[in-house]
Amino acid sequence: MPTAKTYFVADLHLFAQRSQGHAHLRSMRQLAAQAETFVLGGDIFDFRWSTLGSSAATVAAASAWLTDLTKAAPRCQFHMLLGNHDHHDPFIDALEGLCNRQENLSWHPYFVRMGDSFFLHGDAADRDGTEASLTNARQQAQGHTHRTRGRAASWLYDVAIHAGLHRPVPVFAYPKRRTARRLLSYMNEVGHGPETGVEHVYFGHTHRPMSNYRYRGVKFHNGGAPIKGVGFRIVSAHVRRGKAA
């Protein structure tokens, strides 16, 4: 069965001080111009740590960024997944309007399935791998954590990044086997387990690069994050042609 040229990227954390995601925009545009599909895998924007001063300013900047990207590659179909840092009601409202205007853009709150590949942000790996726990965590974040931080808090976070204090966290917080097990548990619950034909899982969130990690017959892939001291790549995804779901 033929494959569709597809790319996946997550965790750019644009508009946060720690992000180096802007440095990869040219590469993203070049790859999108050659691709049939491009999946933006959540936390592309960071409404928790935005330095733009307000939610409204960050929503406007995110909308402009998406507009520029999708217009630069009109033949590529973009799928925007939400993560725990950009699942933000005002942004979702703007995203709805943007998708209505841009025919090559669609959005999905949690995941998208394409052929034998399953794409999700990856925050299901934080807990017990159930749909209910993920939904509840996102709702709680909406209630009291999605707000722009002040300059002092951003500065302290930046100091920790430059000191390398963040580097051991993904390794200890997200062991590969446990991460894969929790993601697979979530996939089974939402009806996209291995028995449905899934062979590849592409996810972000953990900031821990992973390539072809095999667990129970499924290969897991993670591109890391463009943050100092963390590996990062735009992932070339293996996708057998099939309707997105």
Residue 173, domain member (yes or no):
yes
Domain that holds residue 141: 6-237
Residue 134 falls within a domain, yes or no?
yes
Whether residue 132 lies inside any domain: the answer is yes
Q: Look at residue 145 in the predicted model and tell me its pLDDT.
A: 43
Domain count, the chain: 1
Report the pLDDT value the prediction gives residue 130, as an integer from 0 to 100: 81
pLDDT at res. 228: 83
Cα dist. 126→92, 101, 174, 232, 239 in Å?
23, 35, 8, 21, 26
Task: Output the pLDDT for position 27.
Answer: 97
Q: Are strands 6-9 and 37-41 parallel, antiparallel or unpaired?
A: parallel
Identify whether 203 is part of a domain.
Answer: yes
Residue 244 in domain: no
Residue 209 has, within 13 A of its CA and on its CB side, a CA count of 13
Predicted local distance difference test score (pLDDT) of residue 1: 57
DSSP secondary structure of 110-147:
SEEEETTEEEE-SGGGGTTS-HHHHHHHHHHHHHHT-S
Spatial separation of the C-alpha atoms in residues 240 and 4, rounded to whole Å = 6
- Residue ranges for the chain with pLDDT beneath 70: 1-2, 142-172, 241-243
pLDDT value, residue 166: 43
CATH number, residue 65: 3.60.21
How many angstroms separate the CA atoms of 183 and 122, rounded? Answer: 7
pTM comes to 0.89
- Is 117 contained in some domain? yes
pLDDT at 39: 99
